[in-house]
Structure formats: structure tokens, C-alpha cells
Structure 1
Amino acid sequence: MTYPPDRTAQFSTTAPPWPYCGHGADPAGSPIGCRGRRVAPHGECLAHLGDSHGADYLASLGPGSDLDHRGTSLTEDLLNRLLDAVRDPATQRPYLGAARFDTASFLGDAEFGGTHFRDEAGFEQAVFLGVARFAATEFGGDAQFERARFRGAQFREARFDGRAWFGEARFSEEARFDRARFAGYARFGLARFLNNAAFGGAQFLENIGFQGTRFGGHAWFHGARFERESRLGPLACAGSLDLSAVVFAAPAVIEAAAEKVWCIRTRWEATAVLRLRYATVDLGETVLAHPLSITAQPAPFTDRTGTDWSQGALDEGDLGGRDARVHMASLRGVDAAHLTLHDVDLTHCLLSGAVHLDQLRLEGECTLGLPPAGVLRHGRIPMRWTARQTLAEEHHWRAAQGYDGWTAASAGAPVPGPSALAPLYRHLRKSFEDGKNEPDSADFYYGEMEMRRHDLKRPRAECALLALYWAVSGYGLRASRALAWLLGAMAVTVLVMMLWGLPRADA
């Protein structure tokens, strides 16, 4: 987004609703000319005032003055002189009353850091060609940034006491809202962040709106706090949507098409619903005080009027066309008593350390991993694995033991042994049984017995008995194996009878 200094967005064929400057008007090219608001009693805007008139105007300002420079092109030097004119000598911070910079162009860096806007601050459709710095700025009234265009935006520790409007704003470089405080309604609907956006540690005290928002990079909300009922999305995030250490103090609905969703150590103090597409989700050590459901959204998100976001404002970008299934990465340290998963892939999900897995609700098509197919080897022993649902940790343990075809853990990751995996299988079996899914619960019974058989901490006699139980009948679950043993025993019996016959009874 670049404009020559003398041909900014203020030159247009449409006359603005305020008394405008008109400098540079050209009937053949730009009949309106400069759209900057006139500085009374002169006929020019601040950018085109003569030196003497400009100096007189700046000298007439003081702390708390109202400013109206809509449509004006402001260089970095001119903006600095304007803010110096309203600087409070007690605090050394610019202090403004009502400020209107709608459709203004800031041709260099805009240094508003530490400024106090007592009343409304209007920057609607403003264009920032340099870095816009609003760090530690206080907005006492509504802050209007709708359809503004930012190159880089710094709102660290900004304070919005009124409503904050960023709808349809565009951020071409990284946007920082770290530790910002939104006391009123915060609207980012249809905003577009072409790079990363950071809201780490931000406080949202009222309702928020992120409907149709697009993030071209990562969206960080790490450590943020949402005090009121929240609705994040539908939104699209090409990178990670980081909700780690976030506190949701009220009910929340999150709808996102994202590559990754991190909820590590997140606190859910009210009911919450996550509807996701494409995402790999990590819930490690999250705190659930109320029900939380995670659902895979099979179709693109639509708004309340039925408009297809993916074809309209919400573009899924590079995510589109991929497998939209949701994958769980970890439930470590989670109390699963309040958790419901619907149509979620658990193939690579780490469950060790989770509690109350017997109360975990799995609905729809929640798949787990399968053993490797075909005949593989363990050392010199050829093996064929029985098809069943398996945990990711069993894959890691068997790969560490040298079994071919099983998925190894990532480098440096802990690998729990059979004594830790057996209870996981037992709890999941109970969860399936409580859900009246006895056929699939049998796989977890098989996995539990397998882990007990390989647990070297158990007595040798028990392990030997389990090995015999496995060999004879597959823990009572493999009828073909039991039938084969039965037929074998019958064949041996018939052979013995044919060779030696029955003993004669004495006369």
C-alpha cells in the first residue's frame, strides 16, 4: 500500500460532506482536489496552510482542544507539531478533546503513543503509510478505526474506555494489541490481518466481535481475559490461533478455520463450544470448570443470514481444499469429566496424565490409530498385528521397543510404559461402555490386557497366564484363534484314538 506523497487517497471525484480544501483541483484529472477539511477561518486544510497561518493555528491550540482534520494528508513532522500543540505540560502527554481524522492520510510514522483522547477519536478509513503507534494511548470515548488501512500497528497497553471499532480494517504488517484494555464493545468483524496479530494479555470487559476476521499469520491471545460472553468467529487463521493461558470468565463460542489451535493452560470458567475446521488442537493442562465441546465443522462457516463466509468475507486461503478434519494433539493434564469431542481424530492424541477419561464423551466419528498392517518383523520374528483401536502412546512405546511399523515419539518426548498405558485403556473402555458402545469398547479391553501382559512390574506368573490367555483366545475376543485351538485339540484327540484306540473293559 504505497501512494506518492502528493497523490494520496484524499484526491477523489467525490466531494466530502465537510468544507474541503480543494487544493490541486484539476478538471481534467481530479476535479475535487484535496479533500482535507478547511481550517477556519481559512480556505485550506492544515497541510496546505501557509507557514504564518499554520503557525497561528497551532498556537491557538492547547491541552484538551478539539481537532477536526478529516481528509487531510499529514506528514510525520506536521503530525508531531500538531500533537506538541496539545501536549499537557503536567504529564507531557498530548491531551485531546474530540478528534476527527476520518479518511486522513498519515504519510510517515504516526506517533500517538501515550496520547489521551478525552472524547471520541475518529480514524475511520484513515490510511497509515508508516507505523501507527498508539502504545499506552487512552481513548476516553469511542475509538473509530473502521476500514482504516495500517502498515504496522502498535496498540500495546492501549486503553479503550468506550467502544473500539476496527471493522473491515486492514493491517498489512504485524499488529500488536498486547495488554490492551477494552472496557466497551470491541469489534474486529471483517478485519484483515495480512501478518501476525498479537492480543497477548489483553482484557475484554464487554462483548467482542470477530465475525469474518482473517489472519494471514498467527493470532496470539496468550494470557488474555474475556469477562463477558464471547464469540470469536467465524474467523480464518492461516497459522496458529493461540488461546493458551486465556481466561474465559463467561460462556464462549469459538468458530475458526485454523491450522492449529493451542489451548494450553486455558481456563474455561463457563460453558464453551469450539467449532473448528482443519485444526490440530492442544488442550494440555487446560482447566475445565464447566462443559466444553469440540466439534469438527464439515462445511464452510456461514453467518447468521446464511451467507457463505468462505465465498465472501471469510476466505480460508491456503487452508481451503485440505482435509477439514480436526485432530487432537494432547489431553495431558486435563480433567476430561466435562469434555465432549465430536467427529475428532484422536490418532496422535497424547492422553497420559489426563484424569476422568472414563467420563470423556466421544460422539460421532472419533477415530484412533491402528496397528501397522501386513507382516512385519520384531527382530527376526515375523508378526501380523490384529486390527484394533490403539493409543498414540502405545505406538511410541512399541516403536521404542524395536517393533517395525509403529509410529515413534518426537525427539526428547517422554514415552510412558505399559504400567501407565493400561489404566488409560481401562478408563476409555468404561467411557465406551457407558455410552452403550460395547463393540468398540472391546478394543480397549484388548489394549489393556496387552499392556498388562508386557508390564514387567507384574508377577511373572500373571504375565505367563496372560500370555497363555492371549495365545489361546486373544483375551477371549478372537473367536478364530479359540476355534483353531479347539479344532487342533479335536484333531489330536482323534489321532490318539486312531493310533491307540480305547482301552478294553475287563470282562
Structure 2
Amino acid sequence: MDMPWRTCGVGQCQGAHVSDDRCLAHLEQEQRREYFAGLRPGADVDLRRTEMNPDLVKQLVRAVRNDDGHAVFGRVDFAEARFREFANFEKAGFASADFTRAEFAGPVKFEKAVLRGRTSFADAQFGGNVSFAGSTVEELDCRRAVFSGNVKFDQAIFVENGFARLAFRNTRFGKAVWFDHVVFRGDIRFQETQFRGETFFRRAVFEKSARFSPAGGFSHNVWFDDAEFLGLAGFEGLEFRGYTSFADAKFGEDVIFGGSEFHDVARFDKVRFGGRARFQEVRFDGDTCFDGAEFETAELFGPVEASQLSFRHANFRKRVVVDTRTARVDCAEAVFEEGVTLQIESASVDLERAVFGKPSTVAGTTAEVTSLRGTDVEDLVLTDVDLSKCLFAGAHHLDKLRIEGDCTFGSPRRRQTLAEERAWRTKSMDAIRPRRVAGLYRQLRKAQEDSKNEPGAADFYYGEMEMRRHSPATPWSERAILHLYWLISGYGLRALRALATLAVLIALATVGFRLGGFKTTPAFGDTLIYVAQSTVSLETKLASLPKDLTPFGEVMRLVMRVLGPLLLGLTLLAVRNRVKR
């Protein structure tokens, strides 16, 4: 195969020509000394496909040392070179370096090295441990590289004039990887990277770049899309100051994000958390998405602070406690196979079509649930949440829903009302028919009655009757009765209205008796007492009243003896419905 460079003339060696038609590895001792003597600090080096042993590396580094004792290279090309044993480039400086498809059989040290320009380890093979601890890197490409040993980036700084580019796409780390105290100031790509051992990003900082992208916004991003972590993964105490994505990543064991901060958008779409996912005391300033994520063994998520959290289509296979302080939590179509305890503060929660496999609780003193549409709520308990905006239409087993504590509904008409009723009254485009709203009230009323909350059930009964009264599907005769029932007593729930109706009835009857109830005209006070006594079916003892009634008076007396006790009964019924426990 023709090489794109002049190769060594010894046998089948394809190492880059250095001198006398030979590569560095095949030079005689004297020729090798002459080659190294000709190098100066900042010299370019071309050693492609060359076989390098520790002694050659040591002599090469010594040849380019400056007065401070640090090796300084210009452009270095080690593409497809083979480092048989230990390769030590500690404290060396490189203007740019190409190690594409290089093979490192033993340990490699780039500790405190300065890698300026572009450094490529694409498709490289590392057989031993690798250390970049304390190094400074501007642009690093490790795509498809294979690291079989431990890898350390402790206290490394990745920066190029405030902007760096890191590519670890399709890289494979065979053992532990450390990024302790690392500062990243630019794009970092770990897409499709495989971490077979433990991986730690302790106290690293992912800073936002000052470079502005053509599409608008800052061009700093961190990608772990499709990355695979087979061992423990630690991201404790980190700062992600730009866009961060773990979409489709897989964590085989525990992953720890404790104390980390995400200042921009964070995406965990379709991530599989095989072990425990620890997000204690994490802060998400931007929108955060766990859509389609799978939590295999997680039992606790949080406490976290976030502006918006989304768990749409997420699957929690074990019982979990979600503790969050956020503005909005979207759990639409999320699956909680063993149940969940949602402890939310200052948040609105969407539970549309969520699945609760076991008894679950949603609790929060300053939280609101916005939707339960399409959700089976048989095993759900709502405690101390605001339900004024909650949509119940389409919920299953609504009569089994348990509402405890200080749960509030909208109350524009001095009663608890559903959002569906208010939408119908305001003629909203999304409003459902009154008959369907009546069904929602009926089911919620039964749920309250089963939990012995009669006062709470009373409002739902009132709402049910209101929707029946207004429904076109209700027969006109029944609607007429309901209108009358509403008018005189508020469906047996308004005691003052029933008393007021009784007072009006007594006043009218008194006037009627005065005008034509008796054959003679008694005093007004006596007539009022007579009507009041007739209302409660008592015989009058007043001697001053005439004994004989006119036919009209007999009819009014009969009406009062029927309607009076009825209205008194409705008054007592309304009081009972409000105080019964």
C-alpha cells in the first residue's frame, strides 16, 4: 500500500523517513544522535508509523527542552505510531499533535502538558493507564479511541481563547476515568462513548463559551448522547453552564449528580438508569427533560430545584419519592409501576394519562394539579394541593379518588367548582357539555362521601344539580323542578335561602288572610301569628281571631300547612349537610 509519506527503506517498515532513507527506530546510533542534536525547542516532528520505545521518547523529549527544562514541540505527527512501553510526555508543550490510530502498549503520561492547537487521538489504542492530570488542552479529538486502562484528567483545563472543542465520540474507556477539578470551556462531545469502569467528573466546571453561534446563542454544549456507563458514574458538585445532553445514555450502575448545577437546558431523554439515580440537592435553572427515561431501581429523586421538569413517558419500575421545588412538573403518560410519592412545592403538576401501579400520593402545600384526564386515579391520594385548574374529564375510577387535607377548588360562586364548569360558563372552546360535567361532580361526590367528608360532598352535589339544571339533555319537566328546587333552597344546601322563602311565604299569606281569609278583618299582628302557627301545624289560641274562614282562607291554610314544614325541613337539611361529619 502506498503511504502518503516517504517511508523507511528497511524491510516492510512503513515508518516516516528521518535520515539516510530510514525511520527513527532504524537509524544507527550515530545517525540517531545527529537527528536529536538537530532538534530545537519548538521543532516540528514527523514520526508517523514509527516504532517508539521509552528510550526514544525520552531522548526526543530531552532534545526539545528549553532553558526552563520543559520540552517544547512545534507540530508533532505520531499518526499510526506504536509506543511499545511507557510513553512519558510529562510537562511537554505541543503546538499541535496528531496521534491518530497510534498504539500505546503501556502507560502514557501527559501530566501538566500543554496541548495547543488540535490534538488528535482518534482511533488510538491505549493498552495501559493514561494520565492527562493537570494538562492544558485547547482542542482534543478522541473519537473511536479505546482506553483499556484507567484514564485521569484531574485538574486539566480545556480552553482555547475561551473556547475549546473536545470530541470523545465512539470512544471506549475500559477502566476507571477521572475528570477531577477539570475546567471545560468549550464544546465537549462524549457521544456514543463507552465507559466500562468507574467514571468520575468530581468538581468539574463546564463553562459557557463567549463564542456566539451563527444560529444565535452561545456555542458551548456538552453531549453525552448515546454514551454508555457500565460502572459507577459520578457527576458530583459540577457546574454545567451551557446546554447539556445525556439523551439515550445508559447507566448500568449508580449515577450521582449530587450538588450539581445546570444553568441552561438539560436533557435526559430516554436515558436508562440501571442503578440508583441520585439527584440530591441538584439545581436546574433551565428546562429539564427526562422524557422517556427509565428508572430501574431508583427509590428517590431529589430534592431538586428546577424551573421546569418533564417526565413525559418516563418509567419508574420501583416505588419512588420525587421531591422537587419547581415551577412546573410534567408527568403526562409517566408510569409508576410500584407507586410514587410526589412531594412538590410551588409547582403545577400535569398527571394526564399517568399510570399508578400501586397506591400513590401527590402532596404539596403550594402546589397545584392541572390535569388528571385519562388517568386511573383508583390508587391516588391528593393531599393539600390546589385543584382549581385541574381537568378531570376522562379520568378513570374518579369515585375512588381520595382528596385529603386542604385541597382547594375554584370557588367563584361561594362553592367548590370544577375547572370544567367554569370553562362551560365562560363558553370556552374546550368546554365539555353540562351533562358530562354533572357526571364528574357525581363521581367526586361519591368519593367524598366514602371518605366521610359530607361538607365536601355537598359542594359537588350542588355542582351536579347545577349542571343537570342547565343540561339540554335533561327533560323540561325535570328542569322546571330543578329550577324551583334551586330557587327556594339551593338544592337543599342553602339554609338562608329556604328561610327567606319561608319568610316571604308567611308575609304573603298574612296579607292574603287580611284581605280575604276571614269573614271579618282581624288585626295584622293577630293574623301574622295565626299564619306562623299554621305553618308549623299548630292550632291558634287567640280569642280575638275570627273562627270562621272563607273558602279562600281554607285553601291558604292548607297550603301553609304543607309548604311551611317543607321549607323548615329544607332549612334543617341544609344545616345538616354543612355540619355532618
TM-score, structure 2 normalization: 0.67
Q: Secondary structure at the match of 2:327?
A: strand
- Name the CA distance, whole Å, in 2 between partners of 1:188 and 1:76: 32
Change in Cα spacing, 1:103 to 1:70, as seen in structure 2 (3 Å) is farther
Q: Is the 8 A contact 1:73 1:106 kept in 2?
A: no
Structure 2 letter corresponding to 1:394: E
**Which of 155, 173, 176 is the matching residue for 1:117?**
173
CA apart distance, 1:45: 2.3
Q: Does 1:356 align with 2:397?
A: yes
Q: What is the match of residue 115 of structure 2?
A: 74
Q: What is the match of residue 106 of structure 1?
A: 158
Q: Does 1:268 align with 2:336?
A: yes
Q: Is the 8 A contact 1:170 1:194 kept in 2?
A: yes
Q: Is the 8 A contact 1:76 1:110 kept in 2?
A: no
Q: What is the match of residue 337 of structure 1?
A: 378
Q: What is the match of residue 184 of structure 1?
A: 253
Matches within 5 A, 1:26-37: none
Structure 2 letter corresponding to 1:428: L
Q: Is the 8 A contact 2:87 2:107 kept in 1?
A: no
Let me know the Cα RMSD of the aligned residues: 2.9
Q: Is the 8 A contact 1:202 1:221 kept in 2?
A: yes
CA apart distance, 1:480: 1.6
Q: Does 1:438 align with 2:483?
A: no
- Name the CA distance, whole Å, in 1 between partners of 2:112 and 2:382: 52
**Which of 144, 152, 162 is the matching residue for 2:200?**
144
- Name the CA distance, whole Å, in 2 between partners of 1:393 and 1:481: 26
Structure 2 letter corresponding to 1:48: G
Q: Secondary structure at the match of 2:439?
A: helix
Structure 2 letter corresponding to 1:248: F
**Which of 262, 277, 280 is the matching residue for 1:193?**
262
- Name the CA distance, whole Å, in 1 between partners of 2:425 and 2:402: 27
Matches within 5 A, 1:102-501: 102-107=154-159, 108-151=164-207, 152-238=221-307, 240-296=308-364, 325-371=366-412, 386-400=413-427, 409=428, 414-501=430-517
CA apart distance, 1:120: 1.1
Q: Is the 8 A contact 1:64 1:95 kept in 2?
A: no
**Which of 117, 121, 125 is the matching residue for 1:86?**
125
Structure 2 letter corresponding to 1:156: D
- Name the CA distance, whole Å, in 2 between partners of 1:234 and 1:505: 80
CA apart distance, 1:271: 2.1
Q: Secondary structure at the match of 1:77?
A: strand
Change in Cα spacing, 1:73 to 1:465, as seen in structure 2 (3 Å) is farther
Decide which structure has the larger Cα Rg and report it: 2
Q: Is the 8 A contact 1:144 1:165 kept in 2?
A: yes
User: Is there any run of 5+ residues in structure 2 with no aligned partner, and where?
Assistant: 1-61, 73-82, 128-142, 208-220, 520-547, 551-581
Q: Is the 8 A contact 2:93 2:113 kept in 1?
A: no
Q: What is the match of residue 93 of structure 2?
A: 48
CA apart distance, 1:458: 1.4
- Name the CA distance, whole Å, in 2 between partners of 1:426 and 1:265: 26
Change in Cα spacing, 1:119 to 1:397, as seen in structure 2 (3 Å) is same
- Name the CA distance, whole Å, in 1 between partners of 2:437 and 2:405: 25
Q: What is the match of residue 53 of structure 2?
A: none
CA apart distance, 1:209: 0.7
User: Is there any run of 5+ residues in structure 1 with no aligned partner, and where?
Assistant: 1-20, 27-31, 299-324, 372-385, 401-408
CA apart distance, 1:83: 3.9
- Name the CA distance, whole Å, in 1 between partners of 2:90 and 2:105: 21
Q: Is the 8 A contact 1:72 1:101 kept in 2?
A: no
CA apart distance, 1:477: 1.0
- Name the CA distance, whole Å, in 2 between partners of 1:291 and 1:68: 55
- Name the CA distance, whole Å, in 1 between partners of 2:318 and 2:281: 22
Deviations 1:293-345 (A, max 9, x none): 1111x5xxxxxxxxxxxxxxxxxxxxxxxxxx101111111111111111100
CA apart distance, 1:449: 0.2
Change in Cα spacing, 1:43 to 1:422, as seen in structure 2 (3 Å) is closer
Q: Is the 8 A contact 1:68 1:101 kept in 2?
A: no
- Name the CA distance, whole Å, in 1 between partners of 2:489 and 2:67: 93
CA apart distance, 1:285: 0.8
Change in Cα spacing, 1:242 to 1:70, as seen in structure 2 (3 Å) is farther
Give the number of equivalent residue pairs.
413
Deviations 1:173-197 (A, max 9, x none): 0100000000011000001111011
Q: What is the match of residue 315 of structure 1?
A: none
- Name the CA distance, whole Å, in 2 between partners of 1:432 and 1:163: 48
Change in Cα spacing, 1:455 to 1:226, as seen in structure 2 (3 Å) is same
- Name the CA distance, whole Å, in 1 between partners of 2:390 and 2:171: 48
Percent identity over the alignment is 37
- Name the CA distance, whole Å, in 1 between partners of 2:483 and 2:408: 28
- Name the CA distance, whole Å, in 2 between partners of 1:449 and 1:25: 95
Structure 2 letter corresponding to 1:269: E
Change in Cα spacing, 1:43 to 1:497, as seen in structure 2 (3 Å) is closer
- Name the CA distance, whole Å, in 1 between partners of 2:284 and 2:105: 37
Q: Secondary structure at the match of 1:93?
A: coil
- Name the CA distance, whole Å, in 2 between partners of 1:24 and 1:274: 63
CA apart distance, 1:75: 3.7
Structure 2 letter corresponding to 1:353: G
Deviations 1:360-398 (A, max 9, x none): 111211000012xxxxxxxxxxxxxx4111111111100
CA apart distance, 1:472: 1.5
Q: What is the match of residue 312 of structure 1?
A: none
- Name the CA distance, whole Å, in 1 between partners of 2:481 and 2:319: 52
CA apart distance, 1:440: 2.0
Structure 1 letter corresponding to 2:342: L
